[in-house]
Amino acid sequence: MRVLSVASEVFPLVKTGGLADVAGALPAALAGEGIAMRVMVPGYRDVLGALSGATEIHGYASLLGTPARLLAGTAGGLDLIVLDAPALFDRPGNPYLTPDGADWPDNWRRFAAFCRAAADVGAGAVESFVPDVVHCHDWQAGLVPAYLHYAEPTAARSVMTIHNIAFQGRFPASVFPHLGLPPQAWDVEGVEYYGGVGFLKAGLRHAGAITTVSPTYAEEICTQSGGMGLDGLLRQRSEVLSGIVNGIDTAVWDPAADPNLAANYTAATLPRRAANKRAIAEAFALTPDDSFLFCVVSRLGWQKGMDILGECIDGLVALGARLAVLGSGEAAIEGMFRAAAARYPGRVGIVTGYSEPLSHLLQGGSDSVLVPSRFEPCGLTQFYGLRYGCVPLVSRVGGLADTVIDANLAALDRGVATGFQFLPVEVPALTRAIARAIDLHRHAKAWKKLQQNGMKSDLSWGASARRYADLYRSLVA
Ligand code: ADP
């Protein structure tokens, strides 16, 4: 079976969040299921720069008004199909944002062109790779099922995966005539969405199957508060909606071999983490003592509950703990952490920006990783925490609810706990969870058990890849 995975970012080439990790990991995981997956990505500058063995497999004199071509090649260990359209994608930096942090004003055209080309591949435009299934990720690929639906009937089936329903790709009605869709697509049964064009909406309307990245999130997005405007449509289509939890790349995230750590370790050599804790203290200007160390590796935004965490810092420091924050995002939240670092020198440290090496080091040396998200489709940071013996402390929402077992008395008794959960996402509940973690840490044996439980849980892609493979097969059958 051949599957075209359509994604606007893919690790290790372009990454702003969890989608890139998933898109980068699925091909290898699915190879074991007998599925040949190619990833289709936009030809951003960084992607074209990394592409080797590129051959042109399709050309457009005008793709939504601009010359373009499809290149097949490899990069980062992946078989890629790249949409080379310099006017749309030959830009530096973040795939969606200008250097000033605003959305590129032509994002609708950039990703409509991307979808149009992906749908063409789905419809058989590239003889050497005619997919049975087109797997579309997030709003940037949302128009693919619509283009397939309104074109000549094709054999290819489509899957739409929601990695985060907050990002919907909503544009004004004025863009519709430029999309190359037939007039009847301008309909609530088509791509029309609250008076504009909805890219994700279009995908959810027309895909053969819809998935999201955890069973709990699949339920949450069908509710008014979780669906962010799309819950009605999702309830209508609930029969084809399922939740499949992400895995992680256990070779990239392996504390026994991770080159980003000061000291490598296994579940049997946990004391070696102390060297990583000292390295973190140095990198984040913290006092190099043995006190409890919390970390954050996150986009700094409302979704991630970072404002709530900010209000808990006084309490955290009062309990004798330290906090190391790695993140980038909203200036106000960055400022809040900076102010905390100034207030508590040596106890709170922040590094802003994106750093893959530091994100590994933090998991390899901190005692606990904080993930107080208001909503979280799946979340990856808690998986890395589990794998690295960096006990996750999470809100009980979405994928966090599905993947961390709270250290309540029953779970501790049965020896199955892997972390801490709290709800609601408010200051008192988070403060209590922070205190619970610090308390349990005083019981060295219980804490070690918590770490080891997490480290031995199966976080690889195996089980999830099987579920995607079953889904593809059921669509094609
Ligand atoms: P989201 O996709 O909503 O941002 P996830 O938890 O699903 O959240 O994935 C976030 C990914 O990005 C994880 O791999 C995490 O380690 C990584 N990450 C987030 N912020 C940073 C940062 N500042 N530096 C390095 N890695 C980061």
Q: What is the pLDDT of residue 360?
A: 98
- Asked if residue 8 belongs to a domain, the reply is yes
* Residue 87 φ then ψ, to 5°: -65, -25
Residues 224 and 287 in one domain: no
Q: What is the pLDDT of residue 162?
A: 98
Best of 10, 250, 358, 381 for a ligand 1 pocket test (most atoms within 8 Å of beta carbon): 381
Q: CA-based angle 195:218:111, to the nearest 5?
A: 45
- Asked if residue 252 belongs to a domain, the reply is no
Q: How far apart are CA 109 and CA 62, in angstroms?
A: 13
In the beta sheet, which residues pair with residue 352? 327
Ligand 1: nearest atom to the Cα of 381: 6
Residues 230 and 282 in one domain: no
Q: CA-based angle 351:330:293, to the nearest 5?
A: 35
Look at the block and give the residue holding tokens 């030959």.
90
Residues 402 and 416 in one domain: yes
Span from the CA of 79 to the centroid of ligand 1 (angstroms):
24
CB distance 376 to ligand 1 below 6 Å: no
- Asked if residue 265 belongs to a domain, the reply is no
Span from the CA of 19 to the centroid of ligand 1 (angstroms):
10
Residues 179 and 300 in one domain: no
Ligand 1: nearest atom to the Cα of 376: 3
Written as six digits, the tokens of 46 are: 């960084």
Span from the CA of 470 to the centroid of ligand 1 (angstroms):
28
Residues 79 and 107 in one domain: yes
Question: Which residue in 382, 364, 388, 389 sits closest to 280, CA to CA?
Answer: 364
Q: What is the pLDDT of residue 97?
A: 96
Residues 235 and 276 in one domain: no
Q: How far apart are CA 10 and CA 110, in angstroms?
A: 17
Contacts of 100 (CB under 8 A, 6+ apart): none
Residues 84 and 228 in one domain: yes
CB 196 within 8 A of CB 170: yes
CB distance 379 to ligand 1 below 6 Å: yes
pTM, 2 dp: 0.92
The helix (H) or strand (E) run that includes residue 420 is strand 420-422
Q: What is the pLDDT of residue 407?
A: 98
Residues 218 and 321 in one domain: no
CB distance 327 to ligand 1 below 6 Å: yes
Show contacts of 432-437: CB within 8 Å, 24+ apart: 433/393, 434/294, 434/312, 434/315, 434/316, 434/319, 434/321, 434/370, 434/393, 435/315, 435/319, 436/407, 437/292, 437/294, 437/367, 437/368, 437/391, 437/393
Span from the CA of 139 to the centroid of ligand 1 (angstroms):
19
Residues 274 and 341 in one domain: yes
Query: Could you list the mean pLDDT of each consecutive 10-residue stretch along the chain, which spans 477 residues?
Result: 98 90 93 96 96 97 98 97 98 92 96 98 96 98 97 91 97 98 97 98 98 98 97 98 94 96 98 98 97 96 95 98 95 96 98 95 98 96 98 98 97 97 98 98 98 95 94 96
Span from the CA of 295 to the centroid of ligand 1 (angstroms):
13
Best of 359, 374, 386, 459 for a ligand 1 pocket test (most atoms within 8 Å of beta carbon): 359
Contacts of 424 (CB under 8 A, 6+ apart): none
User: For 286, which DSSP code?
Assistant: B
Q: What is the pLDDT of residue 298?
A: 96
- Asked if residue 254 belongs to a domain, the reply is no
- Which alpha helices (DSSP H) does 83-223 contain, by range? 86-89, 107-122, 143-150, 199-206, 215-220
- Asked if residue 45 belongs to a domain, the reply is yes
Residues 61 and 203 in one domain: yes
Nearest residue by C-alpha to atom 20 in ligand 1: 298
We report the CATH number of the domain holding residue 64 as 3.40.50.2000
Q: What is the pLDDT of residue 419?
A: 98
Ligand 1: nearest atom to the Cα of 299: 20
- Asked if residue 403 belongs to a domain, the reply is yes
Residues 124 and 15 in one domain: yes
- Asked if residue 264 belongs to a domain, the reply is no
Ligand 1: nearest atom to the Cα of 164: 3
Q: CA-based angle 299:301:307, to the nearest 5?
A: 120
Residues 231 and 332 in one domain: no
CB distance 382 to ligand 1 below 6 Å: no
- Total count of domains within the chain: 2
Q: What is the pLDDT of residue 92?
A: 87
- Asked if residue 318 belongs to a domain, the reply is yes
Q: CA-based angle 4:211:403, to the nearest 5?
A: 115
Q: Which domain holds residue 56?
A: 2-247+461-476
